[in-house]
Amino acid sequence: MRGETLADDYAHAGFGGSLVPGVRPALVLIDPARAYVDPASSLYAGVESSQAAMVELREAARAAGIPVYLTRVLYDDPEGNLGGLFFRKVPALLAFVAGNPLGDWAEGLEPGPGETVVTKHYPSAFAGTSFAASLAAKRIDTLLIAGWSTSGCVRATALDALQSGFVPVVVREAVGDRHSEPHESNLRDIQAKIGEVRQLAWVRDYLAGLAQQPH
């Protein structure tokens, strides 16, 4: 390890380049499930502030007329056969077995008309789904990412977006985690190595600018 701050070390190593968001974005809300905001849930994460930011972000996306996707984790059976090793590693995923109300949409984040639900069994929205094909069919070049949790499904989706050719933009106020330490460390790594971490205000201005462009 080098004897300097992490920021200096990253800069010295050559991390921290920038990606320019394109003109054909889509928004994905990662797993906006009741499990994370219901205090009675073992998965309760205290992320209500990011829940409110997601609502605001989606309104901006709707106003701009861009595609909106929502992901959900869903298993058909209590053995979680579709989840394989992930289900075995994380017993808390029982909350997302069909019929468990904790898997329902968080208040204010239910899918709206024309919005696409991606059902997944692993952390990334891309793993084992047709998400990448859907984005490509719409000629999407940029993926705005919000949801839960920063260190898990958000990061996994951002990495797969990068590897699939979409500029990942993680909206800082609209993501959350169980603790500030993994939240901040993963946002730092996403910015350094994977994509762009932007403030909600920046994203709103970006979307407003796109809405004003001729189509």
153 is catalytic: yes
Strand 142-148 to 25-30 pairing:
parallel
Q: Which of 45, 118, 153, 156 is catalytic?
A: 153
Tell me how many helices (H) and strands (E) the chain has: 7, 6
Q: What angle do CA 140, 74, 37 make, to 5 degrees?
A: 90
CA 206 to chain centre: 18
Q: What angle do CA 61, 66, 68 make, to 5 degrees?
A: 75
Q: Are 138 and 26 spatial neighbours (Cβ–Cβ below 8 Å)?
A: yes
Q: How far apart are the first and last CA of the chain?
A: 51
3-state secondary structure 48-66: HHHHHHHHHHHHHHHHHCC
Residue of 186, 127, 179, 184 lying closest to 152 (CA atoms): 186
Task: Return the active site residues.
Answer: 153
